[in-house]
């Protein structure tokens, strides 16, 4: 596998379920990101991890819980979601600690909350 991969690609879950999204990057990068992409809205940055430490949390509700066990893997744990959380969740990675480096994106997980 090359680049940034995400699993699953599609997920349907009820409001009481618990699920996790997985992201893996094969680029040797040291920063990873979660974004939420909703229709007709700009991409929303959710979390940033740099060298496995969370460096940014953009006021995301606690029903979203990120985990970064190492620099290649990033998870987003989901529990008691709301229908408005239905969206495409994109993972990205980048090299370096400054904000100048471009980010490489995964294909996304299409999440539907019923």
Partner 1 sequence: AQTVTQSQPEMSVQEAETVTLSCTYDTSESDYYLFWYKQPPSRQMILVIRQEAYKQQNATENRFSVNFQKAAKSFSLKISDSQLGDAAMYFCAYVNYGGSQGNLIFGKGTKLSVKP
Query: Could you say which of 11, 21, 48, 81 contacts partner 1 (CB under 8 A)?
Result: 48
- Distance in Å, CB of 80 to partner 1, minimum: 26
The yes or no reply on residue 1 touching partner 1 (CB under 8 A) is no
**What is the CB neighbour count within 10 angstroms for residue 26?**
13
C-alpha dist (Å) from residue 71 to 12, 58, 80, 87, 99: 28, 20, 28, 25, 17
Strands 10-13 and 109-113: parallel
Query: Could you say which of 31, 68, 76, 111 contacts partner 1 (CB under 8 A)?
Result: 31
Residues that bind partner 1 (CB under 8 A): 31, 33, 40-43, 45, 48, 50, 55-56, 88, 90, 92, 94, 97-100, 102-108
């Amino acid at each position: 596998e090359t680049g940034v991969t995400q699993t699953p690609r599609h997920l349907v879950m009820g409001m009481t379920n618990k699920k996790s999204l997985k992201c893996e990057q094969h680029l040797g990068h040291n920063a990873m990101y979660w974004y939420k992409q909703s229709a007709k809205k700009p991409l929303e940055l959710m979390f940033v991890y740099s060298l496995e430490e969370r460096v940014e949390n953009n006021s995301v509700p606690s029903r979203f819980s990120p985990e970064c066990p190492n620099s290649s893997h990033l998870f987003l744990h989901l529990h008691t979601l709301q229908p408005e959380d239905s969206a495409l969740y994109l993972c990205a990675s980048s090299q370096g600690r400054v904000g100048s480096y471009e980010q490489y994106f995964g294909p996304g997980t299409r999440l539907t909350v019923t």
